């Protein structure tokens, strides 16, 4: 090997080693959940608020063992409840997934991925903003169906204290925490109803979400709905 080639090889090796060292140095190591504490979903979401209460007559359907094993690898906590409006009898299903480590291999799985995996067809998928009593909430709204079951869905994702409405925003939020040396936690909140009329369903879901937002403490609201942008 000539002297020039040896020098080029040395420079290339130095760049590779330096890049590897920088990547290792910049890799986040501190979990945000260790600073804030992991929420307890059972207590974070009240069982009764406004006209809503947990419907004790609706059985909780547990996932199959193989599905549960996959959930356990991604999420620290999962909460599933059905609420009923005492004044109208309308029912709303709430599903919450919390993961203390929102790195690449353990990011929250979105309904537009999970529902088709269960055989549902997604016929509409759009971002939206709910104007609640005390805040604006960025969400995604889906229309799904499986055979004769029509299930409109409203959901949002909180990464750390940021609301994100797409996979790219989710990744950017992860990176913003990463440059600070932090691994953020994440929470996906899904609200859905069984209804052939999606507009009616989304009105009911908005009322449920607004009532929920008005019923929780400011600290709980920051975990569930993110921090409002200044």
Q: Return the sign of the alpha-carbon dihedral for residues 107, 214, 137, 125.
A: positive
Checking if the pLDDT of 38 tops 80, the result is no
Residue 15's pLDDT is 39
Residues 6+ apart with CB under 8 A from 27: 178
Checking if the pLDDT of 208 tops 90, the result is yes
Which residue spans within 64-111 are E strands per DSSP?
Answer: 77-85, 91-99
Average pLDDT over residues 156-171: 86
Looking at the domain assignment, is residue 102 inside a domain?
Answer: yes
Is residue 173 a contact partner of residue 179, using CB atoms and an 8 Å limit? no
For the chain, how are helix, strand and coil distributed in percent, rounded to 5? 40, 30, 30
Q: For the chain, how far is it from start to end, CA to CA, in angstroms?
A: 61
Checking if the pLDDT of 8 tops 50, the result is no
Structure tokens belonging to residue 34: 């260790």
Residue 33's pLDDT is 62
Looking at the domain assignment, is residue 47 inside a domain?
Answer: yes
Structure tokens belonging to residue 1: 């090997």
Looking at the domain assignment, is residue 8 inside a domain?
Answer: no
Is residue 92 a contact partner of residue 204, using CB atoms and an 8 Å limit? yes
Looking at the domain assignment, is residue 165 inside a domain?
Answer: yes
Average pLDDT over residues 188-213: 96
Give the best-scoring range by mean pLDDT among 38-42, 69-73, 90-94, 164-168: 90-94
The H-or-E segment that residue 198 falls in is helix 198-215
Is residue 54 a contact partner of residue 82, using CB atoms and an 8 Å limit? yes
Structure tokens belonging to residue 200: 């009616």
Looking at the domain assignment, is residue 11 inside a domain?
Answer: no
Q: Render pLDDT for 75-128 as a digit per residue (tens, 0 to 9).
A: 568 899 999 999 999 999 999 998 876 554 445 678 898 899 889 999 999 999
Looking at the domain assignment, is residue 84 inside a domain?
Answer: yes
DSSP, res 85: E
Checking if the pLDDT of 155 tops 90, the result is yes
Checking if the pLDDT of 4 tops 50, the result is no
Average pLDDT over residues 118-142: 94
- The count of domains in the chain is 1
Average pLDDT over residues 5-34: 50
* C-alpha 228: how far from chain center: 17
Instruction: Bin 30: left if φ > 0, else alpha if -120 < ψ < 50, else beta.
Output: beta
Domain containing residue 208: 29-225
Residue with the larger pLDDT of the pair 129 and 77: 129
- At which residue do the structure tokens 């990011």 appear? 107
Is residue 205 a contact partner of residue 154, using CB atoms and an 8 Å limit? yes
């Amino acid at each position: 090997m000539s002297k020039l080639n040896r020098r080029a090889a040395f420079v290339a090796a130095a760049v590779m080693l330096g890049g590897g060292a920088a990547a290792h140095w910049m890799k986040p190591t501190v979990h945000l959940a260790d600073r804030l504490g992991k929420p307890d979903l059972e207590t974070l979401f009240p069982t009764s608020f406004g006209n809503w209460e947990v419907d004790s007559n609706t059985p909780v359907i547990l996932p199959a063992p193989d599905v549960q094993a996959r959930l356990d690898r991604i999420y620290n906590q999962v909460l599933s409840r059905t609420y009923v409006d005492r004044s109208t009898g309308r029912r709303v299903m709430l599903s919450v997934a919390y993961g203390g480590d929102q790195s690449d291999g353990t990011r929250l799985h979105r309904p537009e991925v999970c529902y088709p995996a269960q055989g549902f067809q997604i016929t509409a998928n759009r971002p939206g903003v709910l104007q609640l009593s005390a805040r604006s909430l960025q969400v995604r709204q889906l229309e799904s169906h499986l055979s004769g079951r029509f299930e409109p869905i409203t959901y949002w994702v909180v990464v750390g204290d940021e609301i994100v409405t797409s996979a790219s925003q989710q990744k950017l939020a992860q990176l913003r925490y990463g440059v600070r040396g932090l691994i953020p936690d994440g929470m996906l909140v899904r609200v859905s109803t069984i209804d052939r009329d999606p507009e009616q369903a989304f009105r009911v879901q908005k009322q449920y979400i607004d009532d929920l937002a008005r019923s929780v403490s400011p600290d709980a609201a920051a975990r569930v709905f993110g921090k409002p942008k200044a």
